[in-house]
C-alpha cells in the first residue's frame, strides 16, 4: 500500500482505504477504481493524500479472466464430448461454443475453480421386481393402457380428426381446443411469444389459426397435449425442470436450424424436438429404478443415455417413444422424428428427423450446468451433410436460441422456471 499525493493520482488507481473529507465525510469507499469524477470530488473536499493499493494504474484483467475461465471449461467439458469428433468442423464449432458459453456463465456465477465442483445428484431407488422377473420387459408392455393423454378422448381425438381433415374450419378447431382451458392458455401464450413473431396480441384460438395455420397449430396443440400427459411425475423422483428444459432447447434449436433448411417445417420440427425424449418418461413412470440406474450408468461411465438404457433394459427410449406415439395415433412424420432422431439415415426425405438429431446434440452440448450434464451424443455425418447447413451458422443458432428458449420456458413452465441455457 502506498500513499499518493492528490497531484499524482491517475485514472485507474485503486483506493486501499476509505477516503474522507476534512469534516470526516466519506467521499470514496475502499476498493474504488478512481476516475476523473472521483478525483475532482477529492480535490473539492480538500483531500491531499490518498492510500492506494498501488501507485500504478491497475490493468483491466477481464480478458485474462475470460481466457483462463474458457481454458478451464475446455478441460472440464472434454470428457462429455468424447462421442463427438472435435477435429471435424461441426464438432469443433459445437465444442468451441460450449466452452465460450460455459466460461461466460462460470464468470457470471462466480465459480471458484480451486473448489471441488459439485457432483450431479443421482437417485437410486430400490430394485424393482420387473428387472429380475422371468418375464421380459419390452416397449409395448410399458406403453400398454397405463399411459394416456390427459385430454383423451375429447380433445386429442378431435385434434387428430382436424389434422386429417381438409374441411375443418378455424371455428371447429377453436371449439375443440377450447374444451381444455390449460391447453388453450399455453397455446395462446406460445403464439404470442417472440418465438412465433406475433406483432399484435392474439387473444383467440380462431385468430391463432389464421396467423399460424390450421395444420401448424393443430400439430403444436398435439405436442402440448402430450407434454401435459406427464405433468404428474414427482419432482423428487426426477429433475423434471431439467428434462423439459432440454426438451424446449431441442425444439427451439430444431426450428431455428429449419429456417436455413428449405423444404422443412419449423413448427413441426419444434414439436418433434419437444417430444424427442418422451420415451424416457414412460420408462420413468413404469420402471423408475431402471430409469435411475440407466442415468447412473450414463454419468459414471460417460455413456450416452440411450446406450445405458439398452444395457439396463435391452432397448432405449426411442423405441418406447415410437410405440407411444403410434399408440396415440400421431402423424408418421412426428413419430419418425422421435423414434429415429438418435440414428437418422441421412436421406433427403428424412431431413426433419436429421434436424431433431442435430438439435438434440446442441441442447445437450450447451446445457447448464455444463460440467455435470449428460454426455453429448455422436453425430451422424450423413444426417448433418443432408441439411446443407454451414457450421458457422451454429453461433447464430445459439444466440437466437437463448432468447427463444426463455420464451418457451415462460409459457410452458411459468410456475417453475427452468435453468437458463
pLDDT in tens, 50-94: 887 655 554 556 677 778 888 889 999 999 999 999 999 999 999
Residues 203 and 349 in one domain: yes
Least confident residue range of 20-29, 89-98, 263-272, 295-304: 20-29
Residue 152's pLDDT is 45
Residue 128's pLDDT is 55
Q: What is the DSSP letter of 81?
A: G
Residues 157 and 256 in one domain: yes
Residue 176's pLDDT is 73
Residue 60's pLDDT is 55
Residues 389 and 259 in one domain: yes
Tell me the average pLDDT across 251-276. 92
Decide which of 6 and 112 is more confident: 6
In a domain, 57, yes or no: no
Closest CA to 286 of 246, 315, 251: 315
Q: For the whole model, what pTM was predicted?
A: 0.75
Residue 5 in this model has a pLDDT that exceeds 80: yes
Residues 68 and 48 in one domain: no
Residue 104 in this model has a pLDDT that exceeds 50: yes
Least confident residue range of 44-48, 219-223, 353-357, 414-418: 414-418
In a domain, 116, yes or no: no
Backbone angles phi, psi at 255, to 5 degrees: -70, -35
Tell me the average pLDDT across 304-330. 90
Q: String of b and e for 281-316 (b: at least 16 CB within 10 Å)?
A: bbbbbbbbbbbbbbbbbbbeeebbbbbbbbebbebb
Least confident residue range of 83-92, 173-182, 286-295: 173-182
Instruction: Report how far residue 104's alpha carbon sits from residue 108's, in angstroms, rounded to the nearest whole number.
Output: 6
Closest CA to 246 of 280, 215, 291: 280
Residue 236 CA to chain centroid, in angstroms? 20
Residue 26's pLDDT is 80
Closest CA to 257 of 348, 347, 387: 387
Residues 229 and 96 in one domain: no
**Could you please report the per-residue DSSP string of 180-191?**
-HHHHHHHHHHH
| pLDDT confidence bin for 306, thresholds 50/70/90 | very high
CA angle at 395 for the pair 394 and 396, rounded to the nearest 5°: 90
Farthest CA pair distance, the chain: 90
Range of the domain at 139: 129-412
Contacts of 283 (CB under 8 A, 6+ apart): 142, 290, 291, 294, 309, 313, 317, 320
Residue 13 in this model has a pLDDT that exceeds 60: yes
In a domain, 119, yes or no: no
Residues 46 and 180 in one domain: no
Residue 358's pLDDT is 98
CATH classification of the domain holding 42: 3.90.105.10
Decide which of 38 and 160 is more confident: 38
Tell me the average pLDDT across 349-358. 97
Q: What is the DSSP letter of 392?
A: G
In a domain, 162, yes or no: yes
Residues 160 and 69 in one domain: no
Residues 252 and 316 in one domain: yes
Which of 12, 31, 52 corresponds to the end of one domain? 52
pLDDT in tens, 18-52: 888 766 778 888 878 788 878 888 887 788 888 87
Report whether 14 contacts 58 (CB < 8 A).
yes
Decide which of 170 and 34 is more confident: 34
Which of 109, 140, 174 corresponds to the end of one domain? 109
Decide which of 368 and 421 is more confident: 368
Domain count, the chain: 3
Report the mean per-residue pLDDT for the chain.
80
CATH classification of the domain holding 156: 1.10.3210.10
Amino acid at each position: 500500500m502506498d500513499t499518493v499525493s492528490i497531484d499524482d493520482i491517475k485514472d485507474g488507481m485503486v483506493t486501499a482505504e476509505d477516503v474522507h473529507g476534512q469534516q470526516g465525510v466519506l467521499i470514496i469507499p475502499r476498493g474504488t477504481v478512481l476516475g476523473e469524477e472521483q478525483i475532482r470530488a477529492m480535490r473539492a473536499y480538500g483531500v491531499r493524500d490518498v492510500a492506494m493499493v498501488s501507485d500504478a494504474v491497475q490493468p483491466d484483467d477481464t480478458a485474462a479472466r475470460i481466457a483462463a475461465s474458457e481454458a478451464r471449461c475446455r478441460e472440464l467439458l472434454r470428457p462429455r464430448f468424447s462421442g463427438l469428433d472435435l477435429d471435424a468442423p461441426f464438432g469443433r464449432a459445437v465444442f468451441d461454443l460450449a466452452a465460450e458459453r460455459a466460461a461466460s456463465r462460470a464468470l457470471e456465477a462466480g465459480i471458484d475453480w480451486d473448489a471441488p465442483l459439485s457432483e450431479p445428484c443421482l437417485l437410486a431407488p430400490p430394485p424393482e421386481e420387473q428387472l429380475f422377473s422371468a418375464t421380459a420387459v419390452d416397449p409395448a408392455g410399458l406403453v400398454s393402457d397405463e399411459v394416456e393423454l390427459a385430454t383423451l378422448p375429447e380433445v386429442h381425438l378431435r385434434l387428430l380428426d382436424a389434422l386429417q381433415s381438409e374441411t375443418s374450419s378455424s371455428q371447429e378447431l377453436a371449439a375443440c381446443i377450447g374444451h381444455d382451458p390449460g391447453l388453450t392458455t399455453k397455446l395462446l401464450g406460445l403464439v404470442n411469444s417472440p418465438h412465433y413473431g406475433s406483432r399484435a396480441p392474439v387473444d383467440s384460438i380462431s385468430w391463432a389459426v389464421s396467423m399460424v395455420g390450421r395444420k401448424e397449430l393443430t400439430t403444436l396443440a398435439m405436442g402440448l397435449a402430450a407434454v401435459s400427459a406427464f405433468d404428474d411425475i414427482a419432482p423428487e423422483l426426477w429433475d423434471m425442470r431439467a428434462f423439459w428444459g432440454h426438451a424446449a432447447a431441442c425444439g427451439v434449436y430444431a426450428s431455428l436450424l429449419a429456417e436455413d433448411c428449405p423444404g422443412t417445417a419449423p413448427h413441426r420440427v419444434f414439436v418433434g424436438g419437444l417430444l424427442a425424449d418422451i420415451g424416457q418418461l414412460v420408462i420413468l413412470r413404469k420402471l423408475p429404478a431402471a430409469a435411475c440406474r440407466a442415468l447412473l450408468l450414463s454419468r459414471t461411465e460417460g455413456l450416452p443415455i440411450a446406450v445405458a438404457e439398452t444395457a439396463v433394459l435391452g432397448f432405449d427410449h426411442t423405441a418406447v417413444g415410437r410405440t407411444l406415439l403410434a399408440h396415440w395415433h400421431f402423424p408418421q412424420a412426428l413419430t419418425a422424428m422421435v423414434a429415429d432422431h438418435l440414428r437418422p439415415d441421412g436421406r433427403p426425405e428424412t431431413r426433419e428427423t436429421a434436424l431433431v438429431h442435430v438439435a438434440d446434440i446442441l441442447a445437450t452440448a450447451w446445457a447448464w450446468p455444463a460440467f455435470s450434464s449428460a454426455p453429448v451424443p455422436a453425430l451422424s455425418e450423413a444426417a448433418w451433410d443432408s441439411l446443407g447447413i454451414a457450421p458457422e451458422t451454429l453461433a447464430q443458432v445459439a444466440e437466437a436460441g437463448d432468447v427463444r428458449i426463455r420464451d418457451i420456458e415462460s409459457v410452458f413452465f411459468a410456475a417453475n422456471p427452468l435453468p437458463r441455457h
